[in-house]
Structure 1
């Protein structure tokens, strides 16, 4: 549908009267400008002017797809690293220059996971509290280029023979993980900041993209075992796929900037912020009231943290120790981990992310209740499953039925994905328009902290369960 030319002229005029903008931005008369409820189902912006109204559609869902690509670009490189651990440990570091009990091999996953997550939390903090490079959205293409450079570096390392210098190779990998998380950490919070100008469901597109990356890697892991026995070749394919995904996100960034939908969302967001500044009777730039924002959105931010903390405390490390009990279970031992743990988790989280398109229950007020109940259920049920049955337990094994455990593996990620989407859509709307981008970035930081603390808690959970 066409766009009213007078609207463009009004927006571009430096001398427009404040009163002439009130019909455009009067959120009391047009609540959709405040909560974006119309956007969620139609992918269009309804623009009100003193004389007319018009709509701008997200043609072919280009902006929504680009936000999904950003989500893929944020998480796929890290998923590739995790999935390629056998390549690093059993191929690159499996040389005569290192013995089998070397810490470089036995603790490789621990080192890169903690390095990566610590860097991720720090860079999310930096991106929120330190101003550099102007608007956070402008940092996205540079972070994508940096991330793609790291991936190309690893494709090069896979090609060359490093058997004579495994220790140097290990430290090169650690350094590259830090650089990669510098890029994806900044990109992650910048993308969430950008999403605040769009309808609320566009923030969910990022979460969807995150989980599309997980699904891709889960399928790739299964296919690679069927197609080739070469760890080196499989790793090259993984890294190449990640490079293509990052480059698609890079191209998508510039395509998005050329769409009418993006341009009008940007203009509308700027005018809403401008009016909010006028109504606050302060023309000078105010410092961001971080404590006030955290107080307003504190309960929802806590729920975001708890949702990720409870999930990452058991997935994937703790669940890798939950063994198949019956030899007659429908999934064989060879595919048990790939299907029951990784494939089930990633696809059910993805499906949970899609559910808010159909239903959004509970609302912002009551969402903390089911989030807390789910977290409690996770910490009660998974520790009593068939975890490391060969060892002595403090907590008895009560769930030995493989189908009951698999049902738990269905329900937990489904609710996790659903609650994540709801929380990420609800939380920015708890504050004023001018601070929605900042709160979106704080929510992204909360996710990073939830992931990092959840992974660390896995060791504590193991100490609680085992003697």
Structure 2
């Protein structure tokens, strides 16, 4: 094999990893963006479930994502990365078929059963998605750092595409028909991921970097244990060393997603306009929350690939400073009917602009953090570091979702009445 450094012709591998990045968050984004379908249509007769749907779907999504994300780091489930990716995608497609069937049937008489069936499908779907996401980052880590950024870019493009898909599906007069085509669209994305993965070994650029890693393993057999595609042996992966070398960037990944998921989507989707005649009308939440965050996060990924600033050391200051977003959005017109905390942000444009900054900084910081994680360890440990970074990402999401449950309590404390 010719080992002269080839180029990624037409950026095919970069684009393929963007597609797989889209696939890593398709399941989660599809369900949270379909908030109106579940709350106002399927569960409209069960207030307890409709009022708490976002919280339930968040937990059902992220608990398996967290568990299987870390489990996949330490236990090489189902063999090599290829086997794990392919079988995960197959199972996700099957579960999406079940979701489409549930959208087809009339569940008016059994909304509680529908709710729990949905939660079970979300749980299983995200368990397989955790394995898929974790493994995709492992594959990307074999390539130059920008390719890990491609996966993060894809994950943020996903949110924008899902919002646009949701918008397009609403062109149908019937809510059930809209939901069917909406979820079929998500299934189509996963099928594209399935097809494009098989094209990776056919590409000369990918084979070159894969061969470099395999040669490293042959030169030093002790390093083979760090290869996710290697068979289990007597040597152990030096997880402690990898974490010690990359802990600062792992913190950056964690805190970025912690802040983002604390306020998005649960807090931001419940912020109402101050001006009742604000020009966005009924699309206020869809645009200022979902579309703005996801589109700006996508732009943030692009800026990170073009401009690697802040550097590995200063990135920590940038990610930590984002904690200010949490009190800011709580001081917006969040849960106006239930809050006792005074609303300090009384301008819809200010809220919208800061919402855009939240999205951009999330995409920029998360992309840089994931790229830096793989660069802080030896090349033979990069794949494992990428998988740990992906698991840390999910941990940040889960922690943010846990804290966001406290937000309604914080803004409705009786002590604010006396203040």
Relative to the length of structure 1, the TM-score reads: 0.81
Aligned match for 2:392, one of 438, 446, 462: 446
The residue number in structure 1 matching 2:130 is: 185
Which residue number in structure 2 is paired with residue 337 of structure 1?
285
* Superposed CA offset, 1:381-422 (max 9, x none): 22222223344434x322211111111011121111111111
- The answer as to 2:195 corresponding to 1:251 is yes
CA distance in 1, matches of 2:265, 2:283: 15
Aligned positions of 1:232-381 closer than 5 A: 232-275=176-219, 285-329=234-278, 331-375=279-323, 377-381=324-328
CA 1:392/1:172 → structure 2, altered by over 3 Å: closer, same or farther? closer
The secondary structure found in structure 1 opposite 2:237 is: coil
Match of 1:86 in 2: 36
Q: 1:152 aligns with which of 94, 97, 102?
A: 97
**Which residue of 334, 340, 362 maps to 1:393?**
340
Preserved contact between residue 259 and residue 325 of structure 2 (Cα < 8 Å): yes
Q: Cα 1:55–1:392, aligned 2, differ >3 Å: closer, same or farther? A: closer
Question: In the alignment, which residue of structure 2 is the partner of 1:29?
Answer: none
Runs of 4+ with deviation above 6 angstroms = none
Count the aligned residue pairs: 405
Please identify the structure whose Cα radius of gyration is greater: 1
Secondary structure, aligned partner of 1:317: coil
Aligned 8 A contact 2:169 2:182 in 1: no
TM (norm. structure 2) is 0.90
* Alpha-carbon distance in 2 for matches of 1:185, 1:84: 21
> Which residue, 33, 38, 58 being the options, matches 2:8?
58
In 2, Cα distance between equivalents of 1:298 and 1:446? 10
Kindly tell me: are residues 176 and 429 of structure 1, through their superposed partners in 2, closer, same or farther at Cα, counting changes over 3 Å?
same
Partner Cα separation in structure 2 for residue 112 and residue 386 of structure 1: 24
Structure 1 range deviating more: 231-240 or 131-140: 131-140
Which protein has greater RCO, CA pairs closer than 8 Å, 6+ apart?
Answer: 2
Distance, in Å, in 2 between the alignment partners of 1:88 and 1:146 is 23
Aligned mates of 2:36, 2:286 — CA distance in 1: 14
Contiguous gaps of at least 5 residues in structure 2: 225-232, 414-419
More deviation, 80-89/308-317: 80-89
Q: CA deviation at 1:171?
A: 2.9
Q: Distance in 2 between matches of 1:447 and 1:412?
A: 17
Deviation at 1:302, TM superposition (A): 1.4
Deviation at 1:312, TM superposition (A): 0.8
**What SS class does the counterpart of residue 57 from structure 1 fall into?**
coil
For 1:93 and 1:388, locate their aligned partners in 2 and report how far apart those are by CA, in whole Å: 21
